[in-house]
A and B are shown apart, each in its own frame.
Chain A
Amino acid sequence: MNSDIVLVCPVTEPYVRRSEHDAAWFMGRVLSRLIAASGVGKADIDGLCLSSFTLAPDGPAPFLQYAGMSVRMLDWIPTGGACGIMAARRAIRAVAAGDAEIVACLAGDTANAGSFRDLLEGFSVFSRDAVYPYGAGGPNASFALITDHYMRKYGAVREDFGHLAVAQRRNAQGNPNALLRSPMTMEDYLGARPVASPIHLLDCVMPCAGGDGFLVMTRARADALGLASVRLLASIERHNAFSDDPMQERGGWLLDRDALWSKAGVGPQDMDAVQTYDDYPVISMLQFEGLGFCGQGEAASFLRGRDLTATGDLPHNTGGGQLSCGQAGAAGGYLGLVEAMRQLTGVATSQVARARHVLVSGFGMINYDRGLCTAAAVLAE
């Protein structure tokens, strides 16, 4: 079903550490790049899926007037790390249903001196009431608790997380869009200063400004435009799963992964690359477990002997991931998806030799004590 609908034109508005531009500018720049990359006119885009954390007080409708657009399908997906996959799912269904012919899916955010603090303080009611007053550690503190629990319960050690981070940095070295490209050793990783134990500096993603996006249309339209396209074989999403677990140690992928692989017609062993949401490394481990690469709590030992670079036996976060690229707000939820599209169309900066199937996974929204949103998609050439 829907195999005649495809994803095309992964674009990135380059990430920058700080910007005087507002979020709408980054989103508009992504839109402009989508138009340039595809050859369609702005008026041909009749559907829009948007995500941003720093667009406030504006939402999706004000953005239409800002960018001079009129659409017949408009979606706002404020789910952070899960938003890219969710956008692809919604866009494909919209095209299949005839609600739109060409849907632009994009996320963009700005970053300046006060924006990250403002975002954290006002992130959610529960966070504002019951997390922020405890030292204002932000996501570092929340993920530190999740990581502390995971390490104690399952025996993972810092080197296991470093194994992911070091490989990702190597993957980032050819990626001009990665903010952190200088070589990094395990010694560098282990020697980083503590931020919120057991989280250290090189476990943390760097907040930045930037944007990412892609278009969804019929294969016939993509072919007529001469665009390299990618198919979405299967996808899942699940929100607020396992809410009775005292500490988060698994995510909603677990509930739907059998349906994902069954519909995709392939399995974890068939993936030529895996793009997880790596904010923070422990969350990547939960994705390997939740999506069936290994059992619960086994990710550290599963990954220990594997080469996670683009030329390795399990290429992971092949563009560098957020740990090396930075986290441009909601665009972090698109990063794995646009990298997967680049791998499958042979234009990645650290290209996997024969990329035919790529898994993308997302995780988002630490509302109080855990991430609420999970999603995954299997993409094919």
Chain B
Amino acid sequence: MMRSQAMREMDHAAAGGMVALQSCAYCGMAQYPPRSLCHACLSADLAWSRALSIEGVVLAATVLHHSHEPDFRSALPLRVGMVHLDCGPQAVCFVQVAEPGTRVRVTATLDAQGRAVLTAQPFSMPKETMG
């Protein structure tokens, strides 16, 4: 499995149930996907913060009925969305809501291949999906 060195920091955090978020120690800009330089000021002095969850708003969503990977096919349909994180950048996440504008809490877990994946849940689940 190919993974960038920056992304491995998120994998390590997710193994402990935490979301790791990269930001620039020089200018403070948060960025996602993580990378080896700050995209704003090009500083190499990057910092990581960890949290149980981070917050954001759903921008758009799709239901996948097709996957290019056999491993995903048994899980179809899969709901995927774009979440605008409060700290600035956008993140592709598995989402439990389709409605843009919904505020979500984003957590990280490891998938079967050991990759950190983000899942966005609404703060209050709609009634029809409760218990």
The docked-state distance in angstroms from the alpha carbon of A141 to that of B62 is 7
A247 touches B117 (CB 8 A): no
Within 8 A of A (CB), among B48-77: 59-69, 72, 75-76
The docked-state distance in angstroms from the alpha carbon of A133 to that of B34 is 15
B84 touches A246 (CB 8 A): yes
List chain A residues, Cβ under 8 A from B61.
Answer: 145, 148
Interface string of A144-185 (1 = CB under 8 A from B): 111011001000000000000000000000000000000000
List chain B residues, Cβ under 8 A from A368.
Answer: 33
The docked-state distance in angstroms from the alpha carbon of A368 to that of B91 is 9
Task: Indicate whether B16 reaches chain A with its CB closer than 8 angstroms.
Answer: no
List chain A residues, Cβ under 8 A from B78.
Answer: 134-135, 137
Within 8 A of B (CB), among A234-257: 246-247
If the complex has contacts A131-B92, A145-B81, are A247 and B59 also in contact, measured as CB distance less than 8 A? yes
Interface string of A169-206 (1 = CB under 8 A from B): 00000000000000000000000011111110000000
A196 touches B4 (CB 8 A): no
Interface string of A79-115 (1 = CB under 8 A from B): 0000000000000000000000000000000000000
Residue of A nearest to B11 (CB): A129
If the complex has contacts A145-B62, A197-B62, A247-B60, are A130 and B7 also in contact, measured as CB distance less than 8 A? yes
Task: Indicate whether A266 reaches chain B with its CB closer than 8 angstroms.
Answer: no
Within 8 A of A (CB), among B1-18: 2-4, 6-7
- Listed stretches A120-128, A287-295, A347-355; interface member: A120-128
The docked-state distance in angstroms from the alpha carbon of A133 to that of B115 is 8
A125 touches B4 (CB 8 A): yes
List chain A residues, Cβ under 8 A from B72.
Answer: 135-136
Residues of chain B having any CB pair with chain A under 8 Å: 2-4, 6-7, 32-35, 59-69, 72, 75-76, 78, 80-82, 84, 90-94, 100, 111, 113, 115, 117
Q: A-B pairs with the 5 shortest C-beta distances?
A: A144-B62, A136-B69, A130-B33, A149-B60, A129-B7
